[in-house]
Amino acid sequence: MLVRDDTIAAIATPHGVGGIGIVRVSGPDAEEICQILFRPATDTDSLKNHHLYHGDIISPETGSSIDEVLLALMRKPHSYTGEDTLEINCHGGHLILQAVLDKVIKAGARPAEPGEFTKRAYLNGRLDLSQAEAVMDLITARTDRGRAIALSGLKGNLSEKLQLIRSSLIEILTSLESSIDFTEEDISSKPPRNISQDVEDVIILINDILSTYKEGKLFRDGLNVVITGKPNVGKSSLLNRLLGERRAIVTSIPGTTRDFIEETINIGGIPVKLTDTAGVRKSAETIEKEGIEFVWEKALAADMVIILIDGNTRFADEDFEVINRNRNKRIVLAINKSDLPHKITNAEINDIIPDVEPLWISAKYGDGISELKEKIYSLASDSGEHMASDVILTNLRHKNALEKTAEFLAAAKDNISRENSPELAAFDIRDALDHLGDIAGETTNEDVLDRIFSNFCIGK
């Protein structure tokens, strides 16, 4: 796969107004573009590598200044992309940045495609594909835990472990192939080592990595949690309490919440998207009926449902309907208004929805909210504790590739145990290596690469 030999440019900072904005340029013409557009504040014969210089970006046509900037030239291969790279630190207004970018493009660059800087870093061997994907995970991380996992991937922790697996498989393949050669010389074809156990050891290591995926996916993609219940049960009050701010309108009038409200909070490092929904009841009003239909749609798509019950009233038909419609979901059963006299008991609750432990809370005063968050976390992660592994798998593409690798290794182990021709096991090991190589991008086709990098922002 060839690296394009042209020069690309893009605004590398988010759209909006800020103190600093960066225009990034990468490619063989980066230094020439710098010479055309940059007028340093003090005379200098040539720019030093990886130094910041103060000066102006000018219009070559008129010589007039466009912006006062700090500029750094990073010559290959010691740059993010592995190419000559120019970073122009401008004042952070979109008009200024766009004017500078226009001049850079007129001087010989072309607009970069989404993710093209990181794609070039991958193609130039600065990052492998799993590290490149970790860049986007790092940018989009919504909690510190998600950021730490993404940074671990960018630093190459997953790549190092996969390289150890790859080295082990190459050793196994070498032993198998040597036994194939021996058969042609009438020498025993039995491999000179316990290859079956070696393959099993690699399978165990892969399964250990795969076991982290559920937790990793939670920290990367988050959890979708819907709050549902009958009107006036305290759903909006609970949302506000969990957020720690007044986000939803709270009144004693049934039907106040017509549409759903969504906000994200951090629970134990998991980004949890909370959805406050309309109260469930029979209504003749068209808008409210539409809102209730949204409740069922949102609950169906949710990862978890908080069913909120009013502990100060008897069970109503609406409570039974909410419970019955969500029996197959992961449920947190919260009994609100614990600060008021209890009109229902845990025994009654257990008769209606056994195997789900009720949690008494007060959305008004905050009682039980910490326990509610702990319950959400423990249900989401099963164990309720962080895994101690130094590698946490977060990417579905990586998971699928590792599963395929393990499948071919299991087939190889089976062929070895049956004492079939070593050539059959060798074929399986090669297939396993191919799928393992997909993760780092060693065997990944260009269509997959284009799809991965198209999800990146322009400028990264």
Residue 92, pLDDT above cutoff 50: yes
Q: How far is CA 59 from CA 31, 118, 271, 295, in A?
A: 17, 29, 46, 57
List Cβ neighbours of 283 (8 Å cut-off, separation of 6 or more): 255, 289, 292
**Is there a contact between 401 and 452 (Cβ–Cβ < 8 Å)?**
no
Q: How far is CA 375 from CA 173, 195, 333, in A?
A: 48, 45, 10
Q: Picking from 27-31, 184-188, 363-367, 404-408, which range would have the lowest pLDDT averaged per residue?
A: 184-188
pLDDT digits (tens, 9 = 90+) for 129-168: 999 999 999 998 999 999 999 999 999 999 999 999 999 9
Q: Where in the chain is the domain with CATH 1.20.120.430?
A: 138-212+392-441
Confidence of residue 100 (pLDDT cuts 50, 70, 90): very high
More confident residue, 192 or 451: 451
Which pTM value belongs to this model? 0.80
What's the pLDDT at 16?
83
Q: Where in the chain is the domain with CATH 3.30.1360.120?
A: 8-128
Say if strands 270-276 and 261-267 run parallel, antiparallel, or are unpaired. Answer: antiparallel
Nearest residue to 170 via CA among 124, 212, 129, 202: 202
Given 3.40.50.300, 3.20.20.70, 3.30.1540.20, 3.40.50.2000, which CATH number is that of 219-381?
3.40.50.300
Residues in the chain: 460
379's tokens:
């249900």
Rounded distance, CA 408 to CA 359, Å?
Answer: 47
What number is the average pLDDT over the span 83-90?
97
Return the CATH fold of 8-128.
Gyrase A; domain 2 (3.30.1360)
CATH homologous superfamily of 138-212+392-441: tRNA modification GTPase MnmE domain 2 (1.20.120.430)
Residue 284, pLDDT above cutoff 80: no
What number is the average pLDDT over the span 270-299?
71
Q: Where in the chain is the domain with CATH 3.40.50.300?
A: 219-381
pLDDT digits (tens, 9 = 90+) for 361-374: 999 999 999 999 99
**Cis omega (within 30 of 0) on the bond before 77?**
yes
Rounded distance, CA 141 to CA 169, Å?
Answer: 34
Q: How far is CA 149 from CA 219, 408, 441, in A?
A: 8, 28, 20
Determine the 3-state secondary structure of 9 from DSSP. strand
